[in-house]
Amino acid sequence: MSHVRRRGLQAGALLSTAAVLSLTAGPALAADTVSQASATALRVTVASTPTDSGSYTATNDGTKETTTGTNSPAVTALGGQSFVQAGTLAQDATATVRNKSGHSAACAGLAGDGATAVAAGDGACLTPGQNLQLDAAHVDLSNLQIVQSDLLMGLDQQLQNALAPVIGPLTDALNQALTTALSSADLGVFLDLGAVQSQCTAGPGTASGDAQIVDASAYAQFQGTRIDLVSLPVHPAPNTKVVTGLGDVTQAILDALNSEFTTAIDGQLGALGGAIDQAAVLAAALQQVSDQLGPLEDNVLDITLNKQSRASKDQITVTALDLSVLPVASGFGVDLLGAQIGESACGPSGRVTVATPTPTPTATPTTVPTSVPAGLESADDASGGLGTGGSAALIGLLALSAGAGVASYRRAMNRT
């Protein structure tokens, strides 16, 4: 029993030793990644549903580079979104080893048709072609309306009294004018860009990244008219914030309503002659529309250019353009949108580990025992039992028996 337990303990000790040795040797045997990079040209999230161009990754274990994903993604692969319908995507990454040190590079971006993609490691990976329009948001204006009570609140008491007999028909005429003016209105928010791209490099203890925004701007389009909102800098500093609203668009909408409202007011109040200040009524109507458009005048688009984050000094992620449509626009039927254009990630980096050569022993060291399992429950637990002397005696007896057998055989042969 004790013998079995002792053997079990020894086997356990051996297994434990083997496990420890394998764990110790594991890192040396398993190839560690010494350099790595990845690139994602475009990621779009519409109403919480993401889609992207896929990521192209490169890793190097010190002996070879391994890549996954595609470095020639197609725009058509991004389904379920209307943000981008054409253009050229670029994403590339490389992971190399130089002087036993890991180095990596990546670039990613988006440009219009006709752009040329260049391999990572050469800086920018896109040369612009035609400009590209990205559809960031469409604003639904059908909910705008003139409310009778609100309209009267914007006028003095004398005017309110004068309008009392016709306030109902006037409100209806203004709402009709609103519908007429905006029923066919198409208010969209777009990005116009030549190329947006980022790139990064990383090596032992260092990582850097940058972004280029070529010929890019945000604009709105209302009734076929382009209204520039903001121009984006070509070489933005890291984490450059750009926010913009639709104040200029609001004014365009009011301008469009001005004539329609004037016509409607004249139609309802013209018979009253100079007894009613029609200009005041027009102003009150426009103000009511302006108030409703107020949220769009503030920040609607939140853009971060050359967005950089570092997990360590030798690791960086750069996003050339990070766009989100703020929730305030959701009241106008705008699908909340998030888009990251040109995301490059590099690092971390390591060094190729060279297996430590086994030193040639100069002398065989004496391994001191740390365990002497010299106890047994019974002699049956031992594999022996006869003793060395007993074994020798047994061998002697066997030899004697064999000799006697031979002698008997010879006597028998002699008798014959």
Partner 1 sequence: MTQARVDRALTGLHRRLSALGTMLLVLSGGLVVGGVVIPADPGPPQPAYGSLSPSDPVRLEVPRLKVRAPIVPIQVTNAVLDPPADVLDVGWWAASAKPGSGEGSTVIAGHTVHTGGGSLDDLPEVKRNDVIDVVTERGTMRYAVMRRKIYDKEALAREAAGVFGQDHGNGRLVLISCTDWDGAAYESNVVVYAAPLGKVRGSGDSHDGRTRGDSVRAAS
Report the residue from 79, 385, 412, 413 that binds partner 1 according to the rule CB under 8 A: 385
The least CB distance from residue 7 to partner 1, in Å, is 10
Q: How far is the CB of 42 from partner 1 (least distance, A)?
A: 59
Member of 164, 279, 376, 400 binding partner 1 (CB under 8 A): 376
Residue with tokens 């260049």: 118
Which helix (DSSP H) or strand (DSSP E) does residue 191 occupy?
Answer: strand 187-193
d(CA 209, CA 204): 15
Of residues 331 through 370, those in contact with partner 1 by CB under 8 A are 366-370
When asked if residue 234 is in the footprint of partner 1 (CB under 8 A), the reply is no
Return the number of the residue (358 or 371) whose C-beta is nearest partner 1.
371
Minimum separation from the CB atom of position 370 to partner 1 (A): 4
C-beta separation of 344 from 207 below 8 A:
no
- Can residue 392 be called a binding residue for partner 1 (CB under 8 A)? yes
Q: Which of 374, 411, 415, 416 binds partner 1 (CB under 8 A)?
A: 374
Q: Does 394 bind partner 1 (CB under 8 A)?
A: no
Interior CA angle at 61 toward 56 and 64, to 5°?
A: 75
| Calpha distance 25→6 (Å, rounded) | 28
125-154 residues in contact with partner 1 (CB under 8 A) are none
Q: Quick one: which of 14, 147, 153, 399 contacts partner 1 (CB under 8 A)?
A: 14
Supply the DSSP string of 282-337, one letter for each residue.
Answer: HHHHHHHHHHHHHHHHSEEEEEEEEEEEEEETTEEEEEEEEEEE-GGGGGGTPPPE
- Least Å distance, CB 391 to partner 1, is 8
Helix (H) or strand (E) holding 171: helix 167-182
**Least separation, in Å, of the C-beta of 381 and partner 1?**
8
374 vs 412, which CB is nearer to partner 1?
374
399 binds partner 1 (CB under 8 A): no
Pick from 10, 72, 223, 263 the residue near partner 1 by CB under 8 A. Answer: 10
Number of residues that bind partner 1 (CB under 8 A): 34
User: Smallest distance, Å, CB 13 to partner 1?
Assistant: 7
Residue 346 in tokens: 């590099």
- Please select the residue that binds partner 1; options are 48, 355, 389, 416, rule is CB under 8 A: 389
Radius of gyration of the chain (CA): 42
User: In Å, how far are 42, 76, 148, 279, 292 from 143, measured between CA atoms?
Assistant: 33, 34, 15, 24, 9
Taking the C-alpha atoms of residue 321 and residue 303, their distance in angstroms, rounded to an integer, is: 7
Select from 8-16, 49-57, 278-286, 317-325 the region that touches partner 1 (CB under 8 A): 8-16
Residues in the chain: 416
| Smallest gap from residue 9 Cβ to partner 1 (A) | 9
In which element (H, E) is residue 170 found?
Answer: helix 167-182
28/386 with CB nearer partner 1: 386
DSSP annotation of 215 reads: S
382 contacts partner 1 (rule: CB under 8 A)? yes
Question: 17-56 mask for partner 1 (x: CB under 8 A)?
Answer: x---------------------------------------
For residue 362, the minimal CB distance to partner 1 (Å) is 17
**C-alpha to C-alpha distance for 91 and 383, rounded to whole angstroms:** 70
Judge whether 91 and 71 are in contact, CB under 8 Å.
yes
Q: How far apart are CA 108 and CA 112, in angstroms?
A: 14
CB of 25 to partner 1, least distance (A): 17
Which residue, 18 or 119, is less far from partner 1 as judged by CB? 18
Distance CA 131, CA 112 (A): 5
Binding site for partner 1 (CB under 8 A): 1-2, 5-6, 10, 13-14, 17, 366-379, 382-393
